[in-house]
Structure 1
């Protein structure tokens, strides 16, 4: 895109310029509950260390949305060992970003991508690879030349009825101007193009009257009644050119009124300035808000998007920046509001395919623009793409671009929307992982593969939910949130859940009852070395969690059952297991658990977990499974 600002400055360089969570009431009917997070953290504070402990604590906070705290425990995990599952690199990176440690987060994302080739790593290498989600929209639109382009610059379309108004630097018949010495093209003027009923151009003309001057005119809009025009022009008013302190001619917004079929009473808008650019107007559907682009002081980047209220008496409020969700350190420009009050804009600050890309943002319940999506290919290309606009023709839109294969410097293209790809309805039931009971009013959030929110809902009284907008050829993330349960995230492709399925979630409070094995409830494991009955260091960490539970819940009584593998005589194994049971009991008594709450007995090889009985060949790992202790709740 040729970017020319005015007599001196490139016009388009300015972008045409080209938890805490509330605790719910428990519905369990068991005897007691154990706060898992509290148990894990108290153990860690005693100085005990293990890979599993740090993973559990990090995950507990990560899935609870407390990323600053998950970062603490993932720090310890990565300091403790290098034997770490790849997914933890991603979780660690997200946690680091929560405390603004972006450099280290980038390192983690790069290692994550190297380990997995997972496209989430593309967030780190976004300037090296195309994003899968952006490249995957190619079938949504067919793109073709709009039929109005010249060998010069043509861009910025806007429809009033069946007539398109656009910007061009072509050589004019009625209004021949001198060339801009910067671009060696004509100064841009406003043009119109009439279309027939099937969206083909039948006539092109230029606007004369008082609108086009010997300097640059650019993007324009109309009120719905067609009687008021807002447009962009150089700082040229009443035949006088204006400069800033650096002797540069900038851009301003102007208003014109249609009087006797002629544009008259041209005035500049009161929030213009000689010291910064204001350009590219857009109107809300109620015509009470104007959007525009500007590089005024106090913004986030080279040019930002702003809004300003239009009062009933025609006066204006104060410009309001659309904020850092939309604006970046780079360029945001060419706003457009469609019939549904959705915002379209161009940016080279957000992840895209190159140059300016087109984005769409749907207002939230407060009318604010905070989430957005890249319109993908073929709307966007590796060059500048901007100036999205609706048309009166069904499923036909227009954009501007300087992509390869065009007729001029910038060209206007017709977008023809294709039939939507096949979508399915996602239908699931959320249940308690322990009791398998359906859970009501669980918050469900559906994200695309780049963590852009697609849909939100809650489960009904049967634990079920349905959500649409799920494409069979896409990958999604489902996030499940419920008080007193660990937040869960599941990644899947659209065709993974065509039929009704079940999604279990784990409670933070663990239900226990007579006969349960406390080891299994807490997801722990206590093993012994071959022919030994001393407490191993890794078992100390696990026992510390059990001791914490026993001390916190004095009504609990347990029976310790210790076991061996089968690689000695039955009598030897029975004696060894009894020594292990008593060693475990004595260890817990020394740590403060009353002795009348713990009984212990060895069972030798009488209760093997697998096939590894006398004479059966087994691996070391298989034998290890049998060298264990259980903690059976007896009261």
Structure 2
């Protein structure tokens, strides 16, 4: 486990003696095992010295050996060392060793006496987390796990990924060169033939040179659904020059070989970017990073990848998932539940595996409980069936540092229902002719208006999104030459009761269409439900709702200048109707300007009764109320289409064409 998320730390302490200088230099370079070896000799002369104990504790923690840090944090201290931080990590070490009562006591004292509000809050959360675990133990758990003994060795095996009857994993087996940060060998990526959890150990082999490298840690791999694109982590060579910590690389399978890996643009210099995982549709890459601007140590991020291998800007998944601790090893299952490991959410100690469940548009985060989790580090979840999969743990009783385990979920009520929304984009011109509209970017937003996913349609105009039960969505469509379109969709009342299903996995697909209007000067659009009180021009609340939609349309389409025209029926004299319609048009334009639209994009015009679209009276001279209602309308007409600079979301994107030759495969 020690190699999985190492951080560079710059110490703030100056020491005088030669041994301590060497230890400090090793600590600064992230060579934590060297630091431990030196400070143990220093500490042997004075076992209770605060500073050596502090650096021993920190070196064990930062090389992910939290259990071993307990005895040293208990004695850590000295000038310049933050005592509250020491106490917090001492409590975490106690918890990692299963000493929950003692850990809770330390956390409670720290919550009451810490010098900063932030540490008080963090300690209180730690104490509450222990209470959460105690309550979790009272609930029924249907998981069963088993050590995958044929694969595991005294070395480290972790991050299992299953694809096309092959199990990929990371291991430090067979490597002679030692990584000075942890005192363990460097890692490579391996694969083995496997039918589910039945592995053919005789087929274990490392991936080819170019993917694996000497004296560099290679590990944590993920594949696109078709198996032709891989992203994996590479780094930690122990040198200050060269690869900066850990980065993500991409390779494509072409002509039966993997292309030379290249770094992808989601990496940040001097940051740790690792544990990648593609979503089931291959369009989203999840990964962990300790880059600046996050919520703690390691946070989980996502980036969209298009059909050409270009990545969008990475997006932090937010404080609901990320904490002041570490969140890493994300995995999106086929049912779109996000699994990840964390030492910041309430857990048993070290890393625990959590699942994000989405219900009625809200996320809840649940600890999977024992036996999936333990006082050790538990991570690297992967499901090869909805009820079966792999994970990694360095718990007691294993064969080595990290071991791969298999698990089964025997919940009798386990039923997985996947909901999808599919549709087709169409374009409509001023003659109302409709045809399939390709190359349209369709985006689905959740009930809060936050982007969930993008899709660019092909020649067939088709798009497909994963959706959830009992939620409201907004679809947007945009392409050159057409007005950006917004359209609502809801899955409320359309879900099925999982308990009524017989199959373990069920897929339900909803259908919709998205029709975009061609951007053409002179084209007019009727605004529905823009009503005024009799003989009045003030904007009514129901009319404001519709005008708000026009405001949004103008925001979405900054290139258009419009005329807002008001029309009346033939009641009253023509001059009066002309004046009334002008006042109503002015009122509507004023409302739109007040909501942020520039005045030079708007023209108000009243047409009175001069442009009816229906008869005000029937042929026999009687009143035609339906026709009059149609004539009492408000329209907007495109007057001008301006050139507006576009901001591309993929300005900093990775373009595979820059690196890979197209061979038709």
If the length of structure 2 is used for normalisation, what is the TM-score?
Answer: 0.43
| Higher RCO (Cα < 8 Å, 6 or more apart) | 1
